[in-house]
Amino acid sequence: MSLQPVLDDLLELRHQAHALGMASHHLVNSSFAGLYRSVFRGQGLNFEEVREYQEGDDIRNMDWKVTARTGDPHLKVFREERERSVMLCVDKGSHMNFGTRGTFKSIQAARAAALLGWAANHQHDRVGGVLFADPHQESSYFRATKDRRALWRLLHALTTEPETATNPAPEQLPDILLKASRGIGTGGLVFVIADFNQPLEGLKRALSQLAQHHSVVLVPIDDPADHDLPDMGEVLFRNAGGELLTVNTADEKGRERYREAWEKRRKQLQQMANGLGIAVIPVRTNEDVHTALMHGLERRLRMRA
């Protein structure tokens, strides 16, 4: 099986983003694009006017200063912008070339990016992104555009190997996120589709700055073996520095510590995201990416309600 996704498959996902719904008791007839819009509505709003409160209005939009001054309840009315900038930040590092069940992380990440990109395109948002890889490889930036040019280029780049940098300037994820947010104004929507089974140093500060001006969604790409190491006896692994290591996966206590370490990292990521008002929608390699994103968006919708 190839580690690289197939461009035709990513293009075909535009039909799922536009038409398919999930088997849910109240979302049977909802499309992915429709649910996407429902979850992220209220982003990119322009203030329009202040008017008197009417029964059924959302009290979260109350204008308390005008209410206090006039003695009658008033609320602010906002008009949703017709378009918004959406940035897809996708991890293409060598650690994404991993998968024990279903498919590889690299392919699942590309599918998630394609579905979200098509959903944004259906809502007439400007879509762009950044693909970041290993330190010795070039990162690819795609300025958000209203037409499909940037999305098509991004999807095509997802199906090819990253180019080796002539003069590598290693960039960490925090730097890449801040760079990706430049040039899209405020009120943008940034998806970070990555393997978050990595050290989180510096990420909180970058996400905090990002969340001040944009809506942010983290999409961790997980494989079952990330948190539940199977018993395969002694296995040879290569660490991030290229060093070969022999691991006895038959050691039950070792597997338990492995699981606890993963759970600790994920708990830290979730707590950090919760504190910053950032959504987390995990996608596993052994599940349908469309269904996983739909379930994640549905959970987010329930939390908003």
pLDDT at 240 (0 to 100): 64
Contact 218, 278 (CB under 8 A): yes
pLDDT at 14 (0 to 100): 83
Contact 5, 20 (CB under 8 A): no
Mean pLDDT of 211-218: 90
Does position 179 have pLDDT exceeding 60, yes or no?
Answer: yes
Domains in the chain, CATH or no CATH each? 7-34+83-304 (3.40.50.410), 45-80 (no CATH)
Does position 25 have pLDDT exceeding 70, yes or no?
Answer: no
133: left (phi over 0), alpha (psi -120 to 50) or beta: beta
Residue reference for tokens 């999409």:
219
**Residue 48 banded pLDDT, cuts 50, 70, 90:** low
pLDDT at 267 (0 to 100): 95
* Signed CA dihedral, 245, 249, 250, 254: sign only: positive
Task: Give the containing element (helix H, strand E) for 173.
Answer: helix 173-181
Does position 225 have pLDDT exceeding 50, yes or no?
Answer: yes
Does position 242 have pLDDT exceeding 70, yes or no?
Answer: yes
Q: What is the pLDDT of residues 72-92, one digit of tens each?
A: 998 887 655 556 889 999 999
Pick 193 or 184 by higher pLDDT.
193
pLDDT at 135 (0 to 100): 76
pLDDT at 195 (0 to 100): 93
> Which among 97, 83, 88 has a CA at the least distance from the CA of 10?
88
- DSSP secondary structure string for all residues of 43-61: SSEEEEEEEE--TT--GGG
pLDDT at 40 (0 to 100): 75
Residues pairing with 192 in the sheet: 89, 218
Mean pLDDT of 131-143: 85
Q: Which of 32-36, 62-66, 137-141, 207-211 has the lowest mean pLDDT?
A: 32-36
Does position 60 have pLDDT exceeding 50, yes or no?
Answer: yes
**Residue 166 banded pLDDT, cuts 50, 70, 90:** low
pLDDT at 174 (0 to 100): 84
**pTM for this predicted structure:** 0.80
**Residue 30 banded pLDDT, cuts 50, 70, 90:** very low
> Which among 63, 62, 58, 16 has a CA at the least distance from the CA of 41?
58
Return the number of other C-beta atoms located less than 10 Å from residue 114's C-beta: 27
pLDDT above 90: percentage of residues in the chain: 37
Residue 227 identity (one-letter amino acid)? H
| Cα separations in angstroms, 152 against 18, 174, 235 | 16, 25, 40
Mean pLDDT of 192-216: 88
> Which among 113, 92, 154, 102 has a CA at the least distance from the CA of 17?
113
Q: What is the pLDDT of residues 111-126, one digit of tens each?
A: 999 999 998 888 888 9
Return the number of other C-beta atoms located less than 10 Å from residue 134's C-beta: 16
Pick 17 or 216 by higher pLDDT.
216
Does position 257 have pLDDT exceeding 80, yes or no?
Answer: yes
Return the number of other C-beta atoms located less than 10 Å from residue 159's C-beta: 17
